[in-house]
């Protein structure tokens, strides 16, 4: 569950950073109350089952009257559910409560060149509904986003989720993303996707907070949350399909780079003869080792969906076909070299291999291990993705749950601030009255 992901929090709405942060001291009563609500809310979300006020008092260090007041407020808002009293163990019967994970909802979008996965989840990131739809790539980007949003609205209606309960939508895209502006800088496998303000489009369509992130970065977060990279705070993910990319987590922090292009190993130059030549179309890793390159190496490959000819290629290789074996070995040697290079630079404890290249066969992962061991004494593990094609969507739901909680905290603080502003005129009039009273005497 998301609550166990304790060392991560959201900063600037998109970066995952280490530590719990400090409150910097309370500036006024309503600010202190907001901080205390945060403390109670965080503990409530982290509890997978029921809890009592006494447990909240112990966990937060707040006084009994403060916890009582805050839980009453959160119950009234529908954020905590009052379950009544538990059996007595000798004293007063304790009141049981639980966090209402369905107070709000999040949407995840894994936008792919041919298929798009969409999902809805509660505030803990637990999936409630999901669907795979064809990516309408023959339309303009704004139309594509509108069609995906329409599919999400249908899914929400089927799951009986009110539109105003959608707190956040997170989209993963196969390209470079300017996180601050919410703009897809370029997505090579999506025609026309250059400088696309996708965050603003989603916000307009769904009337909810939206975040945009690179899909491989989200895949790594998904694997770190629920998959093969659990427990590894410095790790990497290498995706190999039609395109090739990687994601890097260092001490629990996603490394995006100065231009948001960190991990673009598909652009890695693989041999000196390509330096100073038509590098982009001839000498980079993606051109030499992606699925398109593998198809060119095997004469029997067709132009159809890779899922079909790639399966046939593996069957021929298992049967001893020398051409199939040669095509696979040449491709995996390049991927192994890139894996060793990435491991040398990042020094991770684990590198996860994912994408269409590694989904059907564990043997290919072992072949990459062999290549890496022939280059270096690798101090890191090399493992296949545990979540497979669902990894980016899992990352969406993780980030979405964090963004939804941030939204919830802001809403609660805003309501406290609004109430304080409403109280100010009355307080001011009371002060004036105190000064006027002696004059009329």
Q: Could you tell me if 219 and 237 are in contact, meaning their C-beta atoms sit under 8 angstroms apart?
A: yes
Residue 42, phi then psi, degrees to nearest 5: -60, -40
Please give the CATH topology (third level) of the domain spanning 2-100.
Arc Repressor Mutant, subunit A (1.10.10)
> Distance (Å, rounded) from C-alpha 215 to C-alpha 420?
42
**Helix axis angle, 215-226 relative to 391-436, nearest 10°?**
90
Mapped onto helix, strand or coil, the DSSP state of residue 262 is coil
CATH architecture of 105-219+394-404: 2-Layer Sandwich (3.30)
Percent of the chain with pLDDT over 90: 65
CATH 3.30.420.40 positions along the chain are: 105-219+394-404, 230-386
Which has the minimum average pLDDT: 230-234, 270-274, 410-414, 420-424?
420-424
* pLDDT, mean over the chain: 85
> Distance (Å, rounded) from C-alpha 42 to C-alpha 3?
8
DSSP letters spanning 194-207: EEE-HHHHHHHHHS
pLDDT of residue 299: 84
- Give the model confidence (pLDDT) of 322-372 as tens digits: 999 999 999 999 999 999 999 999 999 999 999 989 987 789 999 999 999
More confident residue, 298 or 198: 198
More confident residue, 222 or 310: 222
CATH 1.10.10.10 positions along the chain are: 2-100
- Give the model confidence (pLDDT) of 29-49 as tens digits: 777 888 899 899 989 998 889
Residue 87, phi then psi, degrees to nearest 5: -60, 145
> Distance (Å, rounded) from C-alpha 113 to C-alpha 139?
13
> Distance (Å, rounded) from C-alpha 343 to C-alpha 149?
38
Percent of the chain with pLDDT over 70: 84
- Give the model confidence (pLDDT) of 60-72 as tens digits: 999 999 999 999 9
**Class in CATH terms, 230-386:** alpha beta
- Give the model confidence (pLDDT) of 262-286 as tens digits: 999 998 888 777 776 665 566 789 9
**How far separated are the first and last CA of the chain, in Å rounded?**
66
């Amino acid at each position: 569950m998301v609550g166990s992901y304790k060392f991560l929090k959201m900063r600037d709405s998109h970066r995952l950073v280490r530590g719990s942060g400090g409150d910097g001291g309370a500036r006024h009563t309503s600010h202190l109350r907001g901080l205390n609500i945060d403390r109670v809310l965080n503990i409530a979300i982290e509890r997978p089952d029921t809890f009592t006020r006494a447990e909240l008092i112990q966990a937060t260090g707040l006084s009994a009257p403060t916890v009582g007041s805050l839980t009453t407020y959160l119950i009234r808002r529908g954020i905590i559910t009052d379950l009544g009293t538990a059996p007595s163990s000798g004293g007063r019967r304790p009141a049981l409560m639980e966090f209402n994970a369905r107070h709000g909802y999040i949407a995840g979008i894994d936008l792919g060149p041919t298929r798009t996965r969409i999902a809805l989840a509660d505030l803990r990131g637990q999936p409630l509904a999901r669907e795979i739809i064809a990516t309408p790539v023959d339309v303009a980007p704004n139309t594509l986003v509108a069609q995906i949003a329409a599919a999400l609205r249908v899914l929400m209606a089927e799951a009986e989720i009110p539109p105003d309960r959608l707190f956040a939508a997170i989209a993963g895209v196969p390209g470079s993303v300017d996180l601050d502006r919410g703009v897809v800088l370029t997505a090579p496998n999506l025609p026309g996707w250059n400088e696309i303000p996708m965050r603003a489009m989603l916000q307009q369509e769904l009337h909810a907070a939206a975040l945009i992130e690179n899909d491989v970065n989200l895949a790594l977060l998904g694997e770190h949350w629920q998959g093969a990279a659990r427990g590894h705070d410095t790790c990497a993910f290498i995706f190999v399909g039609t395109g090739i990319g990687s994601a890097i987590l260092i001490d629990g922090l996603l490394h995006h780079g100065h231009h948001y292009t960190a991990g673009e190993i598909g652009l890695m130059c693989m041999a000196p003869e390509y330096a100073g030549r038509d590098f982009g179309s001839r000498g980079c890793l993606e051109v030499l080792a992606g699925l398109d390159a593998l198809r060119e190496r095997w004469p029997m490959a067709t132009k159809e969906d890779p899922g079909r000819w790639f399966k046939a290629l593996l069957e021929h290789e298992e049967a001893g076909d020398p051409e199939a074996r040669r095509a696979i070995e040449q491709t995996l040697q390049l991927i192994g070299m890139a894996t060793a290079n990435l491991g040398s630079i990042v020094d991770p404890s684990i590198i996860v291999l994912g994408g269409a290249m590694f989904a059907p066969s564990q043997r290919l992962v072992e072949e990459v291990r062999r290549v890496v061991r022939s280059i270096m004494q690798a101090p890191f593990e090399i493992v296949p993705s545990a979540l497979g094609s669902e990894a980016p969507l899992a990352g969406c739901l993780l980030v979405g749950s964090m963004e939804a909680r941030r939204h919830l905290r802001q809403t609660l603080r805003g309501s406290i601030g609004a109430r304080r502003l409403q109280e100010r005129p009355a307080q001011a009039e009371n002060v004036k009255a105190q000064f006027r009273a002696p004059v009329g005497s």
